[in-house]
Amino acid sequence: MSAFANILIGGVFHAAVLFLVAAGLQLVFGVQKIINLACGSFYALGAYFGVTFIAYATQFGLSPWLIFPGLVVAGLLLAVVGPPIERMLRSVYGRDESFQLLLTFALVLMFQDVFRFVWGANPRSLDNAYLIYGTINTRDFGVPVYNLLVIAAAITTAATLGALLTRTNFGRIVRATAENRAMAEALGVDVRRIYSVVFTLGAALGTTAGALIVPTAAASLNMAIEFVVEAFAVVVIGGLGSMRGALVGSLIVGLMRAFAIVLYPEFEVLAIYVVVIAVLLLRPAGLFGKPVA
């Protein structure tokens, strides 16, 4: 029972992080119809920057207790990379999907060396700094409090995004633009600004997710490339463009991964791809996506 609970919490924790990145992906795809292969790079950027930020902050007297909010701040600060990158992507909006994918792939390549340049080739971590928050110990198992904080953050983000998209004017405008750009423009929406804001929001979600992970895992060069595959699995299973899909998809992938690592290590990665392929073949729209013509 204890092992099960441990795996479960671990899976949900991973799902929380996945959700943040996937939500960003879905937002950008929903509005701009771009699949951002560089989402993993944003994630890694957040992770690397998180390490540096906390390292510096602690030098200047940041209390170890404030690591969690500190990392959130670090992640959000990185939102500044959003607008310039969106500006660059703007040149391929109307064009063939292949070109959009390729441009984001170019970003992946460039980011790899940016990481190498700034942070070097070795992984960087905060040495299990998450332990500062302690663990909640029950009779059977222990849950690191940090994990709970991250899960709470993901849930809050999900709720906020949901409210933002459905209850605010901004959200309505975003959804209208996603539905029909030409019409939105004709109705006076500054589509360019919306694109920029949405992309920045997506980027911020990705960088924050990356920042939040560093107390528990190291930031490494491989991160950016490996994460894309999982994020992509989430988006396929959940359905392209769907927020609910991001939520459910993250849970499925996160939990599958957690259980597979422990129970069937060799099957871990295999299982995810088999599910992705099955979904793409049987129900390409995913669980919550729009049906494919």
Partner 1 sequence: MKRAAVFAAAGALALALLPMVAPAYYATLMIPFFGYAIALLGFNLLFGYTGLLSFGHAMFLAVGAYGSALLAGVFGCKSFELVLLGVVCIGMAAALPIGFLCVRHTGIFFGMLTLAFGMLFYSFLFKFYHLTGGDSGMRIPRMDILGLELAQYSKIELLAGPFYYYCLALLIITALLMWRIVHSPFGLHLRAVRDNARKAEYLGVHVHRLRLAAFVISAAFGAAGGAILGFRIGLADPELVYWTHSGQLVFMTVLGGFSNFFGPIVGALAFTLLQDQLQSLTQYWRFILGATLAVVVIGFPAGIAGVLDLWPRFSARVKA
Q: Which residues bind partner 1 (CB under 8 A)?
A: 35, 37, 88, 91-92, 95-99, 101-103, 105-114, 116-117, 225, 228-229, 232-233, 236, 240, 266-267, 269-270, 273-274, 276-277, 280-281, 284, 292
Tokens (6 digits) for 187: 């109705």
Token pair recorded at residue 149: 């904080």
Contact between 59 and 202 under an 8 Å Cβ cutoff? The reply is: no
CA–CA dist 285, 287 (Å, integer): 7
Nearer to partner 1, 107 or 201 (CB): 107
Q: Shortest approach of partner 1 to residue 56 CB, angstroms?
A: 24
Q: Which is nearer to partner 1, 87 or 193 (CB)?
A: 87
Q: Measured from the CB atom, is 35 or 148 closer to partner 1?
A: 35
Nearer residue to partner 1 within complex by CB, 38 or 209: 38
CB of 109 to partner 1, least distance (A): 3
Query: Hey, is 127 helix, strand or coil?
Result: coil
Least distance to partner 1 from the beta carbon of 233, Å? 8
In sequence order, what are the residues at sequence separation of 6 or more whose Cβ sits closer than 8 angstroms to the Cβ of residue 187?
Answer: 176
What is the closest distance, in whole angstroms, from the C-beta atom of residue 127 to partner 1 in the complex?
27
* Least gap, CB of 65 to partner 1 (angstroms): 38
- Which CB, 71 or 253, lies closer to partner 1? 253
- What CA–CA distance (Å, rounded) separates 119 from 48? 7
Residues 78/43, Cβ–Cβ less than 8 Å: no
State the nearest-atom distance from the C-beta of 287 to partner 1, in Å. 15
The radius of gyration computed from the CA coordinates of the chain, to the nearest angstrom, equals: 19
> Which runs of consecutive H residues, i.e. helices, occur in the chain?
2-32, 39-59, 67-77, 82-89, 97-119, 145-167, 169-179, 181-186, 191-213, 221-238, 243-263, 267-282
| Shortest reach from residue 25's CB to partner 1, in Å | 13
C-beta of 202: minimal distance to partner 1 in Å? 17
Nearer residue to partner 1 within complex by CB, 152 or 270: 270
Secondary structure element (H or E) that encloses residue 142, with its range: strand 142-144
In sequence order, the β-bridge partners of residue 143 are 136
Tokens 């909010």 sit on residue: 69
Q: Of 129, 133, 173, 126, whose CA–CA distance to 152 is shortest?
A: 133
How many residues does the structure list for the chain? Answer: 293
53/232 with CB nearer partner 1: 232
* Cβ-contact 49, 72 below 8 angstroms: no
Closer by beta carbon to partner 1, 60 or else 117:
117
Phi first, then psi, for residue 136 (nearest 5°) are -90, 120
